[in-house]
Each structure stands twice: as structure tokens, then as C-alpha cells.
A and B are shown apart, each in its own frame.
Chain A
Amino acid sequence: MAPTPNEAQNLTIIEAINLALHAEMARDPSVLVLGEDIGKNGGVFRATVGLLDRFGEDRVVDTPLAETLVAAMAIGLSTQGFKPVAEIQFSGFLYPCVDQVVNHATRLRNRTRGRLSCPLVIRAPNWGGIHAPEHHSESLETTFAHMPGLRVVCPSNPARAYGLLLAAIRDPDPVIFLEPTRCYRLFKQPVEDHGEALPLDTCFVEREGTDLTLVSWGAMMHDTRLAADRLAEEGIGAEVIDVATLKPLDMDTILASVAKTGRCVIVQESPRAGGWASEIAANLAEHGLLSLFAPVMRVSGYDTVMPLARSERVYIPDVDRILKEVRKVFEIAPKS
């Protein structure tokens, strides 16, 4: 099952995550994975396929059906020299972990003034769009991004899923790693199993442009890229930024882009009020106002409960909604 190293393969995001777990478990014997149905079953999305056969049940730990326990066990393990990578099956089931993450994982280092720490990763599929049952389509990134002491990382393509997961596992502090469920198998990309981590705490400018900055993360990056394609057809050059690490937030990259373009639209799937787009927009207002030709616009989910499958597309932003906000920006500040 273990893929051959050092050979670029065309992989989906879920395959890249699996590859990163294989690579890091092989490289570092202190890494172990735990969660519900992650052993024999290989995880409900198959992110952990092959790990049990290769690394054994000591390091590939099928846990009882108790999410608080999974987070708490990861905390305990992380204090004893292990690097636990916990899987929660869907981000909606991260809610029982919030107490453990916030009251313990994020602050054990601070509480003990560096005596103990929690280098752990909790992975979960996040966001909607796969017609899943109730509670399986939540947007949890802001819930955690608000919390000091934590890193919140949201990969948006296979190469970044691989490199950021390696970085998350190697990071000395707790990381919430939220994966784009609906993009798990949406597209492939060459991923080389070189074992090199990508940097955390930094945004990725994945397309350069001079007319507009589009900022997004996770699953919404896909629609954001498509929107940029459409704009390109119209002769509008959109710079596309994948925030990737939401917390701590790399505003420098976003501010540098907006200084160049003077226009910014931020795309998030989570509810609008108090979302991470609001945090980015507030930073732009404080530090980038004089570069802006038009108000910063947000494209977001609505302040509703995440709808069930039949109505999820009503809620989730799409290319049309992104373009609508972009049009507003260019109405106020036409391209000269």
C-alpha cells in the first residue's frame, strides 16, 4: 500500500493526506494516529488506509466512539513524547472536543510556563457540499481560529494537503487541520513524496494579478479559482490567495497584494457574522485602507443553520456569488 517515494504521482487531496501520514509515520516513530474507524476501516474517507498494516495497532489506534476521549487522549499522548494525529470523522463532531482543545491543549504550555506542551494534530473533514446527513457539513475554522495557542490550517489542494500536514505534525504546538470534504476527490495534482513540509503561518499567492485580490481557504478555494478563471476571460487579472493557515494569520501577504490591486473580495463558507473574512477585512481596514479603491467585500455562507442536503447549495457560496461581489467592487472602482 505504501506508495513509492520520490516519484511524483497524480493524487487527490485524500490520497495526498494518506501519503503524508505514511511518510511521517515512517520517518518519525513518535507519530501515531488515532480516531474512530481509522484502523481496519481506513477512516470513513479512507485517509488512513494502509497505516494499520504498515505500522501496527499500537500506532494506529482505533478508539471507542467518544470524541472528547479522542482529543483528551491525544493531549495525554502529546505530553509523553508522542506526536498524535487524531481524526474526527466530520468537523461537526469536533464540538465535544472544543473543551479539551481550548481548556487544555491550547494552554498547557502557557499554564506551565513551558514545562509541558501539546504537539498534536486534530484532522477533520470540514464544510459542506457532499449531500451528507445532518451535522456533517459544518464550518468550524472560525470557532478554533479565535482561540489563542492554536494553529488552524486548511489545505486546498493535494500538494498543500501533503506539505501542510507534514508541517502540522512537526509543529510543536496543537494544530487543527480542516480538510475540504467536497474537494477530497475533486481533482488531482502531481505530488512528490519528498517529505518536505510547507511553511505554516503563511498565505500562498497561487495566482498573480494586478486588478483584484481574491482571498479564500479550504473548499471555497476551488470556486475562487474558477471565479478567477472567469474574470481572466474578461480581461480582469485576479490575484488569488490561499490563506492556508488561518491562525496565526499572515496579513502581510494579503496587505502586499491589496497594495498592488486596490480591490479585495474575501470568500468563506462559514456563516457571515464574525467569520474569518471579517477578521481579514478588519485588518485591511486598519492597515490597508489607503490602498483600497473600493470597500472590501465578503462572500460567505448565511447566518443560518447549515441546511440539509437539498438546500446546501442555497447556502454554500459559488462562482456566481463571488462574481456578483466582484462586480460591485468594479462598479465602485472601475478598472482604469
Chain B
Amino acid sequence: MNPELSATRKVASFDVFYTQILDPEGHLVGTPPAFAQDADELRAMYRLMVITRAFDKKAVALQRTGSLGTYAACLGQEAIGVAMGFALRAEDVLIPAYREYAAQFKRGVPPENILLYWGGDERGMRYPAGTPAAHDFPLSVPIGTHIPHAIGVAYAFKLKKEKRVALVSFGDGATSKGDFYEAVSSAKVWNLPIVFLVSNNQWAISMPRARQTGAQTIAQKAFAGGMPGEQVDGNDVLATRLVLERALERARQGGGPSLIEAITYRLHDHTTADDARRYRSEAEVQAAWARCPIKRYKAWLEASGHWSAADEERLQAEATAAAEAAARNYLNTPPEPPGAIFDHVYASLPKALEWQRAEVIARGPVGGEH
């Protein structure tokens, strides 16, 4: 491309913006959003962050003591889940990956369901009827393959003329996949009410962000699909919620899809089966702790007079108790009877499978469950 050639002219250009309201020390660096007028709401957001962190810690402890299967921690990424939970409306549909527990809790998934899932029990994905989570997708382990489901979900909203939005969330690694590109490339064709939310936690197991793509930002991948893309400080719960609410509202009002790249950091190993010391330095992780989403939000809440040491003490006790209760509920849930593996493969059991189910039932429990 040579702009000096008279035959060549610029036909498009794009800018990527980054939003931050609270810096890592908890100082305001931007105007607080309107929802920040409501102190109860601000405290509820903080409460969910702390509850989620305590849950996460308990889940890891359960795995380390042999009471839970492999678990994917959300340590350091709590602000994104909280922002999602508070930005979504009940009628929206969440299509999550697997580190958005805070959003799932907010939408009615009992914490023991998450433990049941990672403990190897499908009932963990049967979210309770009557909650917003009841119509959400279950968390999704294959990387990025859930992203294009949002196209069908949002197309359905559009066809039914419902003012609902599909929020699909995934990590930086998922943006390397074709499923992501097929979804992002097509969403604007139908101007669908979708928000694509990337939790860029810098690491896809051992692969750093720089080795996923040569693109300067992940946000700019939105432009190729004809939709807005922006970055936000994903460890700043105020900014993340603000940017998400803006994107959800745009989609709800017929403005179409958009993509948000929330910049965060995975403070834990990829899962409990991973050892991140093999591929990243302690110094890097320590530096990331300085950007911890809970630390900065708490500092700001305290400085704003919305939070006290007594509040903190009460909340820490409550969060620990909630995590312990979730663990108890999980551990006290007996495994499904063996025949249950047949119960939901089809709407009704085909005749060809009847003898297999009968064999399993006749054999009885075989052990091996947590």
C-alpha cells in the first residue's frame, strides 16, 4: 500500500478505546457511572466479589484434599463475573465459559452446583427453575465452541421481537478459534443482540496473549465483523459493568452486536491440574496481584465512606460460612443412581438402550464417586 499513489485511498479506519474508572490503588481516574449513586448496589457488588473469592479458595482446597475433581479457579477475574451478573437483566441469556462463577451466582446458580459440576455430577448444570440461570447455558469447557450458539439464541430473540440480549463470554485463547471468527463475522449480518465478552487473562494455559495472535488488541477483531470493539480494565468492576451495560443496552435497543475485551490476569493456575510455575515467573504474578480487582474496589469503597472494617469483618465471616455451606451441600449430595446416565440422553429412552439401562440398574452402585 502506497498512499502516495493517486490510485490508492483510505476506505476505512478504526480506533480502539480503553476504559478505566478505578486505578489499581483504587483512585478515581474517571467519572463514576450512574449506578455508583446507589451505595447498597456498590456494596452488593463488593459482597459478590468477596463471596466468589472465598468460594474459589474453598473449591481449590477441596480439590487439593481429594474431594473435588479438576477445578478451574477464577482468582483475579472476579470483577468481570460480578460486572456481568449486575449488568445482565433476568431475561437475558448468559452463555458462559468456565470462570464466570460470580455472574452465575448472581443469576441464581447455587454455589454447590458449581462444585457438583467439577465434582463430576451433571446435576450441577441443572440450574434451579424460577431463576434467571434456568434459561442460561451451562458452563462450557471446549474452548470457544459455545460462542456461535449466541447467534442462534439472539436470532430467536430477534424473530420473537423480544428485547433480550445474549451475552457470551470466553477467554483470549478462544479468540484464536474458528468458532469465534464465524460468530463475530456473522453477528452483524442480522444485527443481532449479542455482546461478545473476552476475558483476556493473558494466559491460555501456557501460551501468553502475545503468542495467540499478532493483533495489537483482541478488541479490534470486532471491526472485521463490522461491530464496535473496545477494551476495558477487567479488574475495575465499575468500568467493566459500565462498558457492559452500554453494550447490552445498545444491543437491546436494536443497535446490534459488539465486543468487549476485558483486560485481566489469571492469578491461579489454569486449573488445579496445571502448574503455572512451569511457564511464567513469580515476579509477573506478584506484579499482577498489585492489580487485584478486590483490593482496589475495597480501597475506593472505604475511601468513599461506603465500607468499614466492621463491614469487612462481617462479610469475610459470611463469605467463609457460605463457602463452607456450599462444600457441605456438595459433599452431602449422594451420587445419582447408576441408571441416571440413561435418563437424559434422549427425551425418552429408545428401545435399543433399554437392556443397557436394565443391566446398569441390576448391577447397582459401583463406587468411584467423590
Contacts and interface: CB of A to CB of B under 8 A. Distances in A.
B55 interface: no
Given A115-B127, A249-B352, A109 B345 contact: yes
Contacts of A117: 347
Interface in B181-212: 182-183, 185-186, 189
Nearest to A71: B148
Interface string B155-180: 11101100000100000000000110
A289 B185 CA distance: 55
Given A111-B138, A115-B126, 8 more contacts: A69-B148, A72-B145, A76-B154, A104-B146, A104-B149, A110-B122, A115-B134, A115-B138
B125 A115 contact: yes
Nearest to A62: B189
Given A66-B186, A201-B351, A72 B152 contact: yes
A59 to B, nearest CB: 8
B236 to A, nearest CB: 31
B125 A173 contact: no
Contact of A76 (B153, B178, B347): B153
11 contacts: A66-B182, A66-B186, A69-B183, A76-B150, A77-B153, A80-B156, A109-B344, A113-B343, A115-B125, A201-B351, A201-B352
A116 interface: yes
A100 B148 CA distance: 10
A248 B353 contact: yes
B289 interface: no
B180 to A, nearest CB: 10
Interface of B: 122-123, 125-127, 134, 137-138, 142, 145-157, 159-160, 166, 178-179, 182-183, 185-186, 189, 343-347, 350-353
Contacts of A110: 122, 344-345
Contacts of A32: 159
Interface of A: 32, 58-59, 61, 63-64, 66, 68-69, 72-82, 84, 96, 99-100, 103-104, 108-117, 148-149, 172-173, 201, 248-252
Contacts of A251: 352
A103 B137 CA distance: 14
A73 B344 contact: no
Contacts of B134: 115
A99 B138 CA distance: 17
Contacts of B160: 80-81
Contact of A72 (B159, B183, B346): B183
Contact of B126 (A78, A99, A113): A113
Contacts of B346: 109, 149, 172-173, 248
A68 B350 contact: no
Contacts of B145: 72, 99-100, 103-104
B153 A79 contact: yes
Contacts of A68: 148, 178-179, 182
A2 to B, nearest CB: 22
Given A113-B126, A248-B352, A76 B186 contact: no
Contact of B151 (A69, A108, A249, A252): A69
Nearest to B164: A80
A78 B148 CA distance: 13
Nearest to A78: B152
B156 A77 contact: yes
A72 B352 contact: no
B152 A76 contact: yes
B151 A73 contact: yes
B186 A77 contact: no
3 closest Cβ contacts across the A-B interface? A76-B152, A72-B148, A80-B156
A112 B126 contact: yes
A109 B340 CA distance: 13
Nearest to A202: B351
A74 B351 contact: no
A111 B122 contact: yes
A84 B152 contact: yes
A66 B152 contact: no
B179 A72 contact: yes
A273 to B, nearest CB: 22
A64 B154 CA distance: 16
Contacts of B345: 109-110, 148-149
Contact of A116 (B137, B347, B352): B137
Give the interface centre of A58, A72, A100 by most chain B CB atoms within 10 Å: A72
Given A72-B179, A84-B152, A248 B185 contact: no
B138 A80 contact: no
Nearest to A112: B125
A69 B138 contact: no
Contact of A173 (B127, B152, B185, B347): B347
Nearest to B349: A248
B351 A250 contact: yes
Contacts of A76: 148-156, 166
A47 to B, nearest CB: 21
Contacts of A81: 156, 160
B155 A109 contact: no
A284 to B, nearest CB: 15
A71 to B, nearest CB: 8
B221 to A, nearest CB: 16
